[in-house]
Amino acid sequence: MHDTIIIIDFGSQVTQLIARRIREANVYCEIVSCRLPVEQLRRPGLKGIVLSGGPASVYQAGAPQADPSIFQLGVPILGICYGMQTTAHVNGGRVIRADHREFGRTELRLKNGGALFKDLPVKQVVWMSHGDRIESIPGSVALAESDNCPLAAVHAQALNFYGVQFHPEVAHTEYGAQIIRNFLYGICSCRGDWQMGSFIEEEVKRIRSQVGKERVILGLSGGVDSSVAAVLLHKAIGMQLTCIFVNNGLLRKDEAAGVRKLFADHIGIDLDYVDASQRFLSKLAEISEPESKRKIIGHEFVAVFKDEAQRIKRESGGQVKFLAQGTLYPDVIESVSVHGGPASVIKSHHNVGGLPADLGLGLIEPFRYLFKDEVRAIGTALGLSDAVVWRQPFPGPGLAVRIIGDITAERVRVLQDADLIVRQEIEAAGLNRAIWQAFAVLLPVKSVGVMGDERTYESACAIRAVTSSDGMTADWAHLPYELLGRMSNRVINEVRGINRVVYDITSKPPGTIEWE
Ligand code: XMP
């Protein structure tokens, strides 16, 4: 049983970052809804609790509340922003509307830093994002202040509670990672027993005992998560695994052939390849609304996969009993918030589908509690090359969400060609690792140009390149002008159907990474 920290989510957009910081510090943690009954938090290995931030004000009707009985669980609790405010509110303290709201960089000054700020400088930069602030928590001492927040950090000994008004989980808080480590190691006495090497051994054993002699099918997309899942499953159960690779006609150029070759030649796993391009494209004909595209692709994927699974089941004489998926923790959290958590949902991501219940198969999701960087580390430990492990993320709905407006086979071809050039140039500039994603987006805009002596009237494409550490926030990449110039030249010269290229300089937020 690993040491465990439970993060109670009050709907902050950055709750996942808290989990990432804790995992990076080699401590296992899970995010749970603030509506989960407290009895379910009592478990062996529980070392501490973190209360996340959230968009509500404690005085709003229906605002989520910390359950007062968590303070009787006997473990230290760290409240971040709203997590501190709700703690004050339910324990007889006072929360008030701040005279000056604080958003962004703020100077924090330690008063009596204590264990939470051990070994940290008296003045430091932190990231604030709040309208309310606490005025009192019974029995607490102030640990730090800022100009507009006299209680920017507190310790309430009787409650075993530490609270911070700022966000230690975001990268802009100068010593955020250290503050979290101080909580984990100095206050909760964690041992740091969350390591990827031991994860592989534990998971191989667990999969073997779950699967026995039955067969498993796995939906392979060619992306990092499903590829690493395939290799892990193969290590555990060898030929009992069948990987199904569905070509939806919305993959990057030469992707289907590349994935088949990689698995056959280097990994030694035979793929069950289904070319369903026509089927997807005909369902998408004349659909231009982004959410409709996503839903159609999600449904169609389920339908194709089901057909194939039934066929394999029939042919194996009913021995297929399990479905394996490379689902990651952020997908799980995202789909939980779709079902009523407090965070607002921006896009309906497609990958945790309705597959399992319909198929009547048991589910194997070895990465259900892991983040992407952890899966990459596992991929490397399992011997996968950097080219696979460091692939850029690619959305489940594929190029459909990068073709704005109607999708046709011809527009897919145009975008594939432009996208390949963007990726080739990023690679040639040695920027692959530095850039989170770089791709082309085909716009439903035509403009006039002149090539040779000819008038052209063709599509415009946007280049999108972003830096990010997790895809949740992102900045547009400040690519060198020469590189942008080369991409633009090549796209216009080499891709029939595009005569204008623009560069997208929107960060996330307020934009999203994909255009749809
Ligand atoms: P957005 O566009 O929401 O994207 O800023 C954040 C990250 O998620 C990827 N993305 C998806 N991944 N299924 C996926 O597996 C999807 O439906 C999907 N939509 C977006 C996107 O490429 C970026 O890395």
How confident is the model at residue 100, as a pLDDT?
76
Buried b (16+ CB within 10 A) or exposed e, 222-248: bbbbbbbbbbbbbbbbeebbbbbbbbb
φ, ψ of residue 268 to 5 degrees: the values are: 75, 30
Which ligand 1 atom is nearest residue 393's CA?
Answer: 24
d(CA 214, CA 208) in angstroms, rounded, equals 10
Nearest by Cα to 156 from 213, 200, 114? 114
Average pLDDT, the chain: 92
Give me 201's structure tokens: 């051994």
- Residue 124 Cα, ligand 1 centroid: separation in angstroms? 34
Catalytic positions, please?
Answer: 81, 167, 169
Question: 120 burial class (0-12, 13-18, 19+ CB within 10 angstroms)?
Answer: middle
Do 392 and 438 form a contact (C-beta atoms < 8 A)?
yes
Ranges assigned E (strand) in 227-368: 241-247, 271-275, 320-324, 362-364
- Predicted TM-score (pTM) above 0.85: no
How confident is the model at residue 366, as a pLDDT?
94
Task: Tell whether ligand 1 has an atom less than 6 A from the beta carbon of residue 298.
Answer: no
How confident is the model at residue 355, as a pLDDT?
59
Task: Tell whether ligand 1 has an atom less than 6 A from the beta carbon of residue 397.
Answer: yes
Do 53 and 83 form a contact (C-beta atoms < 8 A)?
yes
Q: Is the pLDDT of residue 344 over 60?
A: no
How confident is the model at residue 327, as a pLDDT?
87
How confident is the model at residue 476, as a pLDDT?
97
Digit-coded pLDDT (tens) for 250-293: 999 999 999 999 999 878 888 999 999 999 999 999 999 999 99
Do 443 and 462 form a contact (C-beta atoms < 8 A)?
yes
Residue nearest to atom 22 of ligand 1 (CA): 395
- Residue 292 Cα, ligand 1 centroid: separation in angstroms? 16
Which ligand 1 atom is nearest residue 331's CA?
Answer: 15
Strands 4-9 and 46-51: parallel
d(CA 299, CA 13) in angstroms, rounded, equals 27
Digit-coded pLDDT (tens) for 460-480: 999 999 999 778 788 999 999
Digit-coded pLDDT (tens) for 116-134: 999 999 999 999 988 899 9
Percent of the residues in the chain that have a pLDDT greater than 70, as a whole number: 95
Digit-coded pLDDT (tens) for 410-425: 999 999 999 999 999 9
Compute the average pLDDT of residues 199-206.
Answer: 93
How confident is the model at residue 153, as a pLDDT?
98
d(CA 214, CA 318) in angstroms, rounded, equals 9
* Residue type at position 78: L
How confident is the model at residue 434, as a pLDDT?
94
Residue nearest to atom 18 of ligand 1 (CA): 395
How confident is the model at residue 457, as a pLDDT?
98
User: Please, what is the angle between helix 290-315 and helix 277-284, to 10°?
Assistant: 150
Digit-coded pLDDT (tens) for 281-290: 999 999 999 9
Q: Is the pLDDT of residue 190 over 90?
A: yes
Q: Is the pLDDT of residue 338 over 50?
A: no
- Residue 349 Cα, ligand 1 centroid: separation in angstroms? 7
Q: How confident is the model at residue 346 (pLDDT cuts 50, 70, 90)?
A: low
Digit-coded pLDDT (tens) for 143-174: 999 998 999 999 999 999 999 999 999 988 99
Q: Is the pLDDT of residue 351 over 60?
A: no
Q: Is the pLDDT of residue 340 over 80?
A: no
Q: How far apart, in Å, do the first and last CA atoms of the chain sit? A: 42
Our measurement of the distance from residue 237's CA atom to the centroid of its chain's CA atoms, rounded to an integer in Å, reads: 28
- Residue 472 Cα, ligand 1 centroid: separation in angstroms? 9
How confident is the model at residue 339, as a pLDDT?
38
Q: Is the pLDDT of residue 86 over 50?
A: yes
Compute the average pLDDT of residues 369-396.
Answer: 91
Nearest by Cα to 143 from 169, 171, 179? 179
Which ligand 1 atom is nearest residue 294's CA?
Answer: 17
SS3 at position 256: helix
Digit-coded pLDDT (tens) for 22-57: 999 999 999 898 988 999 999 999 999 999 999 899
Give me 270's structure tokens: 């035979």
How confident is the model at residue 353, as a pLDDT?
44
For a mutational test of ligand 1's pocket, the pick from 347, 392, 399, 476, i.e. the residue with the most ligand atoms closer than 8 A to its C-beta, is: 347
Task: Tell whether ligand 1 has an atom less than 6 A from the beta carbon of residue 351.
Answer: yes
> Radius of gyration over alpha carbons of the chain, in Å?
25
Which domains, and CATH codes, for the chain? Answer: 4-187 (3.40.50.880), 196-389 (3.40.50.620), 408-503 (3.30.300.10)
- Residue 224 Cα, ligand 1 centroid: separation in angstroms? 14
Residue nearest to atom 9 of ligand 1 (CA): 395
Which ligand 1 atom is nearest residue 472's CA?
Answer: 6
Compute the average pLDDT of residues 359-386.
Answer: 90
Residue 510: asked if its preceding bond is cis (omega within 30°), the reply is yes
Give Cβ neighbours of residue 442 (< 8 Å, ≥ 6 apart).
402, 403, 404, 411, 414, 415, 418, 459, 461, 498
Q: Is the pLDDT of residue 443 over 50?
A: yes
CB atoms closer than 10 angstroms to residue 425: 21
